[in-house]
Amino acid sequence: MAQNKKNEFSKSEIELADFARALSHPARVAIMKAVAEKNMCICGEIVEVLPLAQSTVSQHLKELLNAGLLSGTVDGTKSCYCINRKVFDKFIGSFNKFFLITQEN
Amino acid sequence: MAQNKKNEFSKSEIELADFARALSHPARVAIMKAVAEKNMCICGEIVEVLPLAQSTVSQHLKELLNAGLLSGTVDGTKSCYCINRKVFDKFIGSFNKFFLITQEN
DNA sequence: ATTGTTTATCGTAAATATACGATTATTATA
DNA sequence: TATAATAATCGTATATTTACGATAAACAAT
């Protein structure tokens, strides 16, 4: 865009938008579901389940890590991902708060 | 992208992602808040509050309409927007369901 | 040591999203 | 009827996202 105006909004608006953005692609929703189901997932297991190339899945995983929704640890050649409950719960809180605001009338 | 793989995911994953996408820009979060606060907003009121050009706000409004989160009616030269409670509540439901799935362990 | 596994990163192409000014269309007002 | 107000749409520039194959890096197995 000509200019990026995103930081001219409030902190809470930006935070909520960032969280929403992290879940704005079905692949990332699917990843979150897969990880939640098994409590923890190896990268390869996720690649198997998604209709995307390994490099693309890696990219989506990176975004979920950056957003803080997942945390990752390395075990040998394998990468284990699990849901970052702390951050995720914080976001659920923001979301519910937002939902409440939109329901006050 | 070379190809768009979005429709290779499940309907519920796509729906949730679409909802998240609609809220993935702080301007759209701000619009939803502004409309909720006053129960109904004229386009001009929203433009006044946001740090964006009128045409850009119109574009964001259109996306919220497309996603079904807002409904709009025309009154003379003015456009009134309000939250489409039915659709919005449905999305809240999907979201809460998703949250539950991620908390089953 | 060589080979295989696993996953992240790089480079790149193509699609989408964001932002604006200018214009248009519609309605209200003078 | 002419002018002002309001908001949608068009055209366009630029930024970001999505997707892939190829490669690299790190470890495991032979």
All structural domains of chain A with their residue ranges: 10-101
- Chain A residues with CB under 8 Å of B105 CB are 36, 39
- At residue A87, the pLDDT reads 93
Q: Measure A18 CA to nearest chain B CA, in Å.
A: 6
Give CA–CA dist A56/A15, Å, rounded. 25
Helix (H) or strand (E) holding B73: strand B70-75
Q: Helix B26-38 vs helix A11-22: angle between axes, to the nearest 10 degrees?
A: 120
Q: Are B62 and B56 in contact (CB under 8 A)?
A: no
**Is the minimum distance from the CB of A42 to strand C below 7 Å?**
yes
B37/A16 Cβ within 8 A:
no
- At residue A102, the pLDDT reads 81
What is the residue whose two structure tokens read 């929203």?
B46
Q: Helix A11-22 vs helix B11-22: angle between axes, to the nearest 10 degrees?
A: 160
Does domain A10-101 bear CATH number 1.10.10.10? Answer: yes
Asked if pLDDT for residue A59 goes beyond 90, the answer is: yes
* Identity of the residue numbered B73: T
Which fold would CATH assign to domain B18-101?
A: Arc Repressor Mutant, subunit A (1.10.10)
Asked if pLDDT for residue A105 goes beyond 60, the answer is: no
Residue A18 has a CB neighbour count (10 Å cut-off) of: 17
- At residue A15, the pLDDT reads 97
What is the residue whose two structure tokens read 């999907």?
B94
- At residue B1, the pLDDT reads 60
Q: Helix B85-101 vs helix A26-38: angle between axes, to the nearest 10 degrees?
A: 40
Q: Which residues of chain B have pLDDT under 50?
A: none
Q: Give strand D nucleotides closer than 7 A to any protein Cβ.
A: 4-11, 13-22, 25-28
- Chain A residues with CB under 8 Å of B8 CB are 51
Q: Of residues A94 and A83, which shows the higher confidence score?
A: A83
